[in-house]
Amino acid sequence: MSLEALRPLLESPDPEIRRVALLQAADFAPEDPAPFVTACRDPDPSVRLEAARALEGEAAPQAVAALLDRLEDEAPEVRAVAAGSLAELRDETAAPLLLHRLSVAGPAARAPILAALRKLRPPGALAPAIAALADPLPSVRREAVGVLAYLRDPAALPALAGQATADPDPEVRRAAVGGLSFASDHRALPALVAALADSDWQVREEAAVTLGKLAPPGAADALIAALADGYWQVRLKAAGALGRLRERRAVPALAETLRHPVCNLRKEAASALGAIGDAAARPALSAALTDPDVEVRKLAVRALAALEPDS
């Protein structure tokens, strides 16, 4: 069906008919964005949503202007789709437009704009994203953390470290902790160690994951302490990180972990002991050869083969 044949349906008084017509007309958006620009102002949010989706990546000035206006839409799903469609421009035209709109945007638009900037990763987003870490809305701060994590600029490390320990929202703290995984020096270590003692277990888990990726020697004591965490998920990630560190001081605590009721944690402990390779783990790993879980038994066999000879 041609775009001309669809035009009467696009003007139907029934919003569902208009929405379906937009879906059928979506392939025509690159050659004639005008109907979709008009539909971005439709009174029905489902129609506006499809219009914003159809304009994904469209660089025509009227299409970009329509999507920028939808960043202030009353419907959050429309705002999110509009920001994503702008991000798909993937060229130099999108980032300046988004950065300018961010400087004047209302509360509802700031998070989707930052989500789009995260995809585009323009260097000019560094300072605005750092400034957005002080936004009163947690959703905006989370997206700002995402921008900084994707930019991977060392200049963002102090801001991310501060957010990882001081933000009042645990989801923002967790995102900031994960965002520190690009650190190539030890500036992130104090914040990550502090995050291992966070009041929220998912933040502690993320801290153990990030420390496992960075494997900084200075984290060993905090990771060993995390093997006694009240949540087995935190203990599992701490065990993995200690294995990557090959931290011999962790052997007694990891050996004790081999008796934990959660089999996934026992498996991680066996793997970590094998990675460390200390002969002191032999008795605990030998006992694990009779573990009720077959995967734990397999990993215990591998770990025993990786141990250094008894002295």
pLDDT digits (tens, 9 = 90+) for 196-238: 999 999 999 999 999 999 988 889 999 999 999 999 999 999 9
- pTM as predicted: 0.86
In a domain, 269, yes or no: no
In a domain, 105, yes or no: yes
Confidence of residue 127 (pLDDT cuts 50, 70, 90): very high
Query: Which is more confident, 91 or 175?
Result: 175
Strand intervals (E) in the chain: none
Count of the separate structural domains present in the chain:
1
Per-residue model confidence (pLDDT) at position 311: 59
What is the Cα–Cα distance from 72 to 65, expressed in whole angstroms? 12
Percent of the chain with pLDDT over 90: 74
First-to-last alpha carbon distance for the chain, in angstroms, is 81
What is the Cα–Cα distance from 83 to 80, expressed in whole angstroms? 5
What are 237-292's pLDDT values in tens digits? 999 999 999 999 999 999 999 999 999 999 999 999 999 999 999 999 999 999 99
Range of the domain at 81: 1-151
Residue 92 has pLDDT above 80, yes or no: no
With a CB cutoff of 8 Å and minimum separation 6, the contacts of 18 are: 9, 10, 11, 12, 39, 42, 44, 47
In a domain, 83, yes or no: yes
The CATH number of the domain where 49 resides is what?
Answer: 1.25.10.10
Q: Are 39 and 47 in contact (CB under 8 A)?
A: yes
With a CB cutoff of 8 Å and minimum separation 6, the contacts of 8 are: none
Per-residue model confidence (pLDDT) at position 175: 97
In a domain, 195, yes or no: no
In a domain, 103, yes or no: yes
In a domain, 295, yes or no: no
In a domain, 48, yes or no: yes
Residue type, 231: Y
In a domain, 267, yes or no: no
- C-alpha torsion sign, points 72, 73, 75, 81: negative
Confidence of residue 67 (pLDDT cuts 50, 70, 90): very high
